[in-house]
Amino acid sequence: MSPPLPLVEGKLLRQVRTFHTWKWRQVYLDKENLNVFNTRGARRGELIRLGPLNSTGGTDIYIRLFEAPKPNGFELRVRDDKMLFAAESESDRDRWVDALVEHWGATLDQASVNISTDRDRQQAQRLFPEVPPLSLDGLGPLIEPTSTIQFPARLKATGDVLMGVGSFIRRVRWTDEPILAVALYINASAVGDAFDAFKGFSLERLYDVPTFYTAFMDAPFRKTFVFSCRKRLSRNGIIAALHDEIRPRIGAAVNELVVLTTFIEKSLKKGESMLCTIESSKILDFHFKGFSHPSIAAPSLCRCLQALFFDNNSIQLDAKRGLIERVPELWGASPATTTLSKHVSEDDDDDEDEEDDEEEEEEKQQLLRRQSSTLSLNNFGPMIDPDSSDVFPGTIAPLPDQSLLLLGTRSYATGSVQCAVGLYVDPIAATEHLLRFKGLSFGSVETDPDFFVAFTTGAFAKCVRLAVRQAMPIASLASLLAHLLTESHCLQETQSIMDLFHALPTTTLHTHAALWMLVRADGTFHVQIDNASPSTTSPLSPAQQSALGTAIQSLFYGYHASDVHARAQLMQRLPALLDRAKADLVHTYQDEIVMLKENYKRLTPANRIKVGYLTLYNKKRTMMLKWSRRWCRLDGVVLSLFSHKMNSRPKEVIVLSNCTIRDLSSHEEMLGELRKLDHIALVLGITQASGDVLVLRAETVAEGTEWIEALTEASRLPVKQLSTTSVPLQETSASDMPTLEEESRDDDEDEIPGVACDVVSHSETIGVEDGEKDRQVVGSLVQWILEDTRNQIILILLSFLVWTLSELPPGGSGASDL
């Protein structure tokens, strides 16, 4: 029987799985098989279309188009097998793709986006001449400068036009790290009259118009955000970044965010992307790594995704400007020419004497403070509470000569009382007092106790604006606050709040009316109604007012807050406020972290020391918890695990040279353990030569990533002079070490051979002199006596017993002659 005639045949470039190189192969496609041969005729690959065709097409056969690392490329995936090909031209690729779709019933991914980097494009130009992009009304592709990722001028699936590019940063421990490149596409044909009010505005003018960004988010046309990975980003890192930015904004609609994160199943590698398309009906379409997911009816999530870049308290300052770079061209404005902004300072006049120089410097410092305060007031507008839809003004004026700025809002529902709370501060005094916390992230706001002490006791005005949704008596509101203070064990302030509210001129708080609870810079506490003149007299003494103001702050956003997430929501604008402040005159946490990181990088890996608490996993435990906290100390290539940081004797010691460090967060068993937690954690594994795996868990993704990087660098170091190391060690049997099965790998990752490593037992390297020193220091009787008073009492009683026995007669007592 003659073999079936091929449907398509020809030469294609195919990526070799072993070394990820590209080689020319002769490919034959028939109705059942796809065969790949080298130039000598030897078979080098085969794909088989199994199963009959269904009415809806083939089963588990997908095609994804790409332009990097090779142009005119496509990925063919048949169930768990895949091959990467690249054609010589786009028409040749279309010929293969059409044949696979028609005869194999393959599904072509319509969400494929052409993205590439400068390095990939240089490799592609060696084999293929670069084809100039098509002219789309004068618009071409754009390159994101941080990651050098190029985004095409149009999306192939929808035809949306590229408006701009930028970098998506994540704030981790006072450090802004760009983790993704982002591009914005819009349906230009559906813009209509959405921007009629801004026609004629230049790009530089649009930057400083908050109403433009609000109109852009409210516009009904389709918007697509394309997030492309600049380097490998884990699944936990993506989810943590979305939680940090969206969770404080989304309010009660947090379930929409949870649904979105369930679609993120794997990590993103360099060049891979995810798409968020916001339809005019507030429907969100999500595509991850080229695969489509069901649409979500998520109006709050659609708003928050845009607010990441366009609202007033966004920390994505570069993306906020870069994503609208081509918007003025919608109304025919000339293309914008972006230039790097530089700070130009006037040269000092060398002819002036020192006194004039000091006066000039003092004037410059005061000018910096004034500019910082003015910028803060001009860039913050009103806010809409996401849960109650109440509108809070951007600024309020409790006193004629004082304006307070809105930081955030939060809804409360207790019993029959439903209200929304907004937090206002004096931007000038608050910035000067809290400037050392510049760079603080939302997650740090929730967990930093020093920050809340400084915020509560700071000498600047603070106001809690409480807006009720229905009319209620003032006495009822006072009783509610008194009840909450009682539950918080603030008993002395209970009567103070009742006396202060009874002194108000009105007895009823009407619907949508607001009550202001103002803590002034001198610590005094006052209560007043919207647009009412403040009372000049108070029934409370200054000491009582100060204590009551501290208790009220603790009740809403301090230690006694009912929900810790309320802290981040009430202060969601604080990072943006401090970012706009001039930090030239203050030593901030950000400066200290930058200095420490610079000193750390100057050290060689062999001389670096890293310490911290990690949680050790013990699978064999049945009666006790499987996770136990350990104080970990990494010194060069030696990792020591202590039960507590004050202990001097480690429970386990591991030599990391030639060991394998892996991220086990996606392991099946570890996924079950991580789902039991109420926060996002990261699990890492240390595989030794014997096959034992030491499993450790970091409580945050950022901390876990730092540990993986440090341990990986240490594992590459050779073992040197272990015999001179004197570390007391308890013997640990291999059966006590937790073992895991091999980590399940992504379908699109190539298999890598296991790395054999020889681990030298640390206990065998301890010399005789070290053993003697260990017995003299750790096991000495003198140290045992000095550790505890009870040990001294035991020694005294033992000495008394020995002395008593020595005083007995030789024959003993009670002996009789027979």
Residue-wise pLDDT for 712-723, tens only, equals 988 888 765 443
Does one domain contain both 169 and 73?
no
pLDDT tens figures, 401-455: 678 888 888 887 776 677 888 999 888 888 878 877 776 666 666 666 677 778 8
Pull the structure tokens for residue 775: 């017995």
Dihedral over alpha carbons 362, 363, 366, 370 (to 10 degrees) = -170
Q: Which residues pair with residue 473 across a beta bridge?
A: 508
Does one domain contain both 475 and 498?
yes
* Segments forming the whole domain that contains residue 66: 8-108
**DSSP type of residue 812:** -
For residues 749-767, average pLDDT: 37
Residue 598 lies in a domain: no
Q: For the chain, how long is the longest CA-to-CA vector?
A: 130
Per-residue pLDDT at 341 exceeds 80: no
Per-residue pLDDT at 46 exceeds 50: yes
pLDDT at 157: 75
Does one domain contain both 208 and 243?
yes
Per-residue pLDDT at 540 exceeds 60: yes
pLDDT at 720: 58
Per-residue pLDDT at 225 exceeds 60: yes
Q: How many CA atoms lie within 13 A of 93 on its CB side?
A: 22
How far does Cα 94 stand from its chain's mean position? Answer: 40
Per-residue pLDDT at 142 exceeds 80: yes
Write the CATH number for 151: 3.50.70.10
Does one domain contain both 73 and 139?
no
729 Cβ neighbours under 8 A, 6+ residues apart: 650, 653, 762, 763, 766
Pull the structure tokens for residue 47: 């794909």
Does one domain contain both 388 and 405?
yes
Q: Which of 48-57, 281-290, 383-392, 525-534 has the lowest mean pLDDT?
A: 48-57
CA distance 407 to 574: 6
Write the CATH number for 85: 2.30.29.30
CA distance 480 to 673: 41
Mean pLDDT for all residues in the chain = 75
pLDDT at 361: 60
Does one domain contain both 184 and 299?
yes
Confidence band, pLDDT 50/70/90 cuts, at residue 125: very low
Instruction: Using CB atoms within 10 Å of the CB of residue 128, give its burial: 0 to 12 exposed, 13 to 18 middle, 19+ buried.
Output: middle
pLDDT at 121: 40
What are the CA-CA distances from residue 419 to residues 15, 395, 556, 722 (Å)? 61, 19, 13, 65
Residue 611 lies in a domain: yes
Does one domain contain both 761 and 790?
no
Confidence band, pLDDT 50/70/90 cuts, at residue 52: very low
Does one domain contain both 736 and 790?
no
Query: Minimal CA–CA distance to 617: which of 709, 712, 708, 739?
Result: 739
| pTM exceeding the 0.75 threshold for the entire prediction | no
CA distance 305 to 772: 64
Per-residue pLDDT at 209 exceeds 90: no
Q: Which residue is listed with tokens 């195919």?
A: 14
Residue 369 lies in a domain: no
CA distance 417 to 422: 16
Final residue of a structural domain among 70, 90, 108? 108
Final residue of a structural domain among 52, 73, 108? 108
Does one domain contain both 746 and 777?
no
Per-residue pLDDT at 742 exceeds 70: no
For residues 84-104, average pLDDT: 89
For residues 234-256, average pLDDT: 83
Residue 358 lies in a domain: no
Quick one: how many helices (H) and strands (E) in the chain? 23, 35
Per-residue pLDDT at 283 exceeds 80: yes
299-318 b/e with 16+ CB inside 10 Å = b?
Answer: ebbbbbbbbbbbbbbbbbeb
SS3 content of the chain, % helix, strand, coil (to 5): 35, 25, 40
For residues 650-656, average pLDDT: 90
Does one domain contain both 774 and 753?
no
Q: Which of 37-41, 44-48, 279-283 has the lowest mean pLDDT?
A: 279-283
148 Cβ neighbours under 8 A, 6+ residues apart: 117, 118, 119
DSSP reduced 3-state for 321: helix
pLDDT at 661: 92
744 Cβ neighbours under 8 A, 6+ residues apart: 666, 667, 668
Residue 300 lies in a domain: yes
131 Cβ neighbours under 8 A, 6+ residues apart: 71
Dihedral over alpha carbons 684, 673, 252, 431 (to 10 degrees) = -30
Per-residue pLDDT at 757 exceeds 50: no
pLDDT at 446: 60
Q: Which residue has the higher pLDDT, 664 or 247?
A: 664
For residues 29-48, average pLDDT: 87
pLDDT at 591: 63
Q: Which of 69-78, 382-391, 739-748 has the lowest mean pLDDT?
A: 739-748
Question: Quick check: 283 and 295 in contact, CB under 8 A?
Answer: yes
Does one domain contain both 238 and 267?
yes
Residue 119 lies in a domain: no
Confidence band, pLDDT 50/70/90 cuts, at residue 12: very high
Does one domain contain both 89 and 100?
yes
pLDDT tens figures, 671-687: 888 888 878 889 999 99
pLDDT at 224: 92
pLDDT at 360: 62
Per-residue pLDDT at 750 exceeds 50: no
pLDDT at 159: 82
Final residue of a structural domain among 108, 123, 149? 108
Q: How many CA atoms lie within 13 A of 531 on its CB side?
A: 3
Confidence band, pLDDT 50/70/90 cuts, at residue 382: confident
Work out how many domains the chain is built from and give that number.
5
What are the CA-CA distances from residue 282 to residues 117, 257, 794 (Å)? 32, 14, 76
Residue 20 lies in a domain: yes
Residue 267 lies in a domain: yes
Q: Which residue is listed with tokens 């930090």?
A: 583
For residues 274-293, average pLDDT: 84
Percent of the chain with pLDDT over 70: 73
CA distance 48 to 30: 10
